[in-house]
A and B are shown apart, each in its own frame.
Chain A
Amino acid sequence: MRIVLTDLVLRRGSFQLAASGTFSEGVHLVTGPVGSGKSTLSLALAGELRPVSGRITEEEIGSRTLSLASPECHVTGDTLENEVVSWKLSPPPVLEAAGLTGRGSEDPLRCSQGELKRLVLSCILAREGDLLILDEPYSALDCAWKEEFSRRIGERRKGITLVFTHEDEVLPRVDEIWEIREGRLVSLGRVPGAITGWSRPPRYLRAALDKGIIPENITPGDARDALCRTRG
């Protein structure tokens, strides 16, 4: 299972992004500053944006799901329960996973952005699709839920999971890191080697890197373990 980008050029308005590379099975972090083209690339990979040139080749991918940054864009059901059903899932376990047990009859559009995000992410992760494209999965989540979804995303070992984010306080365990720099997708390679090539690592990772320590992965816990090992 993989996705191959060959001399891909994407354009939205005056903005242009170039990308080549292969996303293999595993969890990939695609990072870059605001406006760098993360959403543009995620839309193209989901088949929602036609490339100007080049191509995207999918191999052995049966299903793909895009999670948009704004969760209300996903809503089709008139209640939280029906929203879960619209994903062809059983409501009770998904509502529980989203911390919304007992609220199945509520209108999704009357929920807070954070609550709706929890519901959409819980639905998407419960479907265990081949390709998950998560555009800013942490936006609107509080710190506790950011940690919880980081854990769930990092535990996904089957399929291809692409995490497009500029989050800098909570990140999942990943296999590969990609960075968008000046209109081009750059592969930094596999973790942990990729961490040293990261031009804008989160503050907690930079603290370890500044001491010459390379954490095993990119979660705050990895940075803590690396620093504790050195102190010990």
Chain B
Amino acid sequence: MITIAGLPRGVLDIPELIIPAGRVAVIGPNGGGKTTLLRLLAGLDLPPGGEILVDGLPPRSREVGWVGESPAREMIFNRVSDEIASPLRFRHDPCPLVDERVKEIATELGIGGLLGRETGDLSAGERTMVALGAALASRPDILILDETDSNLDQESSGRVEGLLRRISCPHILFSTQRMELAGRSDHVLFMEKGRVLHSGSPGAVFPALAGTPFFPPSWRYL
């Protein structure tokens, strides 16, 4: 469980929030505060006051995996295999274990063929998959994807969704503009103007968004 309490009013206006474990979709219009919230939950930014706890500990005391919207800008190594291995090498895991884990995660993501390639030669979607591999390599307690799927097609997005269902990471939070995907998550947060206006299961949240572009297309027409 993730708990947020006592955040001072500022960019976000979230006095109190409980986010259950599972796959949590964060949705809402551009500029609504999704990235700000996700950065706080990842420990990339610290709240100016109040408390954020991930299963009882602050985010910076947890293993965090993060993939942003433009993975190309977040990559530090030229070779795909080095990029995926980076979080494990930074914590000085033994080389044989690192190699094994890199192969394992690449196979799971279906990007085994990319391991020897240069990250600069990859398409935007391929880079996203590599960034996801790097984020998952260290088996994070909390995995955060900030509109990462905006560079993925239906098929790749489906592959990532399947993977997120299989991995044992207790907290997966992803912001997305794919409402179909959000409709298949465990929990939805709808944010607008820095506030969480709706929080609950898709079946509870989306009826409140009927008639808006945030209602999943297939729920509208089918």
Tell me the A residues contacting B by CB distance below 8 Å. 12-14, 33-35, 39, 69-70, 112-115, 118, 136, 139-147, 166, 168-170, 200, 202-204, 207, 220, 223-224, 227
Q: Please tell me if the beta carbons of B220 and A220 are within 8 angstroms of each other in the complex.
A: yes
With an 8 Å Cβ cutoff, the count of chain B residues facing the other chain is: 33
A141 in complex: contacting residue of B30, B35, B178, B218, CB < 8 Å: B30
Stretch of B5-13, B53-61, B100-108, B120-128 lying at the A interface: B120-128
Q: B4 an interface residue at 8 Å Cβ cutoff?
A: no
| A142, A207, A227 interface centre (most CB from chain B within 10 Å) | A142
Beta-carbon nearest neighbor of A38 in chain B: B123
Q: Please tell me if the beta carbons of A139 and B213 are within 8 angstroms of each other in the complex.
A: no
Q: B162 an interface residue at 8 Å Cβ cutoff?
A: no
Q: Closest CB of chain A to B44's CB: distance in Å?
A: 16
Q: Please tell me if the beta carbons of A39 and B123 are within 8 angstroms of each other in the complex.
A: yes
Beta-carbon nearest neighbor of B147 in chain A: A140
A207 in complex: contacting residue of B122, B124, B177, B218, CB < 8 Å: B218
A-B contact count (CB 8 A): 100
Q: Please tell me if the beta carbons of B150 and A169 are within 8 angstroms of each other in the complex.
A: no
What chain B residues lie within 8 Å of A144 (beta carbons)? 29, 212-214
Q: Closest CB of chain B to A119's CB: distance in Å?
A: 12
A43 to B138: give the CA distance in the assembly, Å.
37
Given A114-B31, A143-B214, A169-B217, A202:B123 Cβ within 8 A = no
Q: Please tell me if the beta carbons of A142 and B30 are within 8 angstroms of each other in the complex.
A: yes
Given A141-B177, A168-B154, A224:B221 Cβ within 8 A = yes
A11 to B64: give the CA distance in the assembly, Å.
38
22 pairs of residues in contact across A and B, judged by CB atoms under 8 Å: A34-B124, A34-B152, A34-B153, A35-B125, A69-B124, A112-B31, A113-B70, A114-B30, A139-B151, A140-B30, A144-B213, A146-B213, A166-B152, A166-B154, A168-B153, A169-B180, A170-B217, A200-B154, A203-B218, A220-B221, A223-B221, A224-B220
A34 to B155: give the CA distance in the assembly, Å.
9
Q: Which 5 A-B pairs have the closest CB atoms?
A: A34-B125, A114-B30, A166-B153, A35-B123, A143-B213
B151-165 vs A, CB cutoff 8 Å, 1 = contact: the mask equals 111111000000000
Q: B69 an interface residue at 8 Å Cβ cutoff?
A: yes
Q: B222 an interface residue at 8 Å Cβ cutoff?
A: yes
B118-152 vs A, CB cutoff 8 Å, 1 = contact: the mask equals 00011111100000000000000000000100111
A115 to B217: give the CA distance in the assembly, Å.
23
Beta-carbon nearest neighbor of A228 in chain B: B221
| B147, B150, B152, B177 interface centre (most CB from chain A within 10 Å) | B177
A170 to B178: give the CA distance in the assembly, Å.
10
Q: B42 an interface residue at 8 Å Cβ cutoff?
A: no
Q: Please tell me if the beta carbons of B221 and A207 are within 8 angstroms of each other in the complex.
A: yes
Q: Please tell me if the beta carbons of B155 and A33 are within 8 angstroms of each other in the complex.
A: yes
